[in-house]
Amino acid sequence: MPAPIENKNAIRHGLTTGKLPAGCGYVERLTNQLRRALESAVLDIAGEIGLFAAATINTACRWERHALLAQRWLRRGKDLTPADKLAFSRDVARASAERDKCIKALGLDHQDERDAWSVLDAVGVPPTADAAGDDSTDPSGDKAAPEAQGAA
């Protein structure tokens, strides 16, 4: 019995982004959601995921993971110097820009702007702690240290 028409069983390319430290499960979940959203968008446009697209999706996911980890360490780094905080902040911005370059290379930058917001909503990207006004929890639901709650 053949596979159902238009199934997505064979879109996995075998490229991995690697394992993360303990307590970073939410980073892996968000990265996998982004990967699935990008794969779906590429399939909608091109009908298949070729080698270049698979590698570009993998690179975009690695940059997104880098941004999420840097943001996590920035948020939890109570002993960071101002220079360290700026370095993590710079890494978040750089990783986001590099991820966006990958999305552009996939040809996904020409979609309707409303589609971009629906992709972000589908991925479940939470607002940043600064935008939400509360940095007492991270997306994994872990409570930040009490010292970090009072520091801004």
pLDDT tens track for 52-105: 999 999 999 999 999 999 999 999 888 999 999 999 999 999 999 999 999 999
Q: Is the pLDDT of residue 46 over 60?
A: yes
Residue owning tokens 């690697």 = 18
Residue 29 in 3-state DSSP?
helix
Q: Give this prediction's pTM.
A: 0.63
Biggest CA pair distance of the chain: 61
150: Cβ–Cβ under 8 A, 6 or more apart, which residues?
none
Least reliable range by pLDDT among 10-14, 44-48, 98-102: 10-14
H or E element that contains 52: helix 51-76
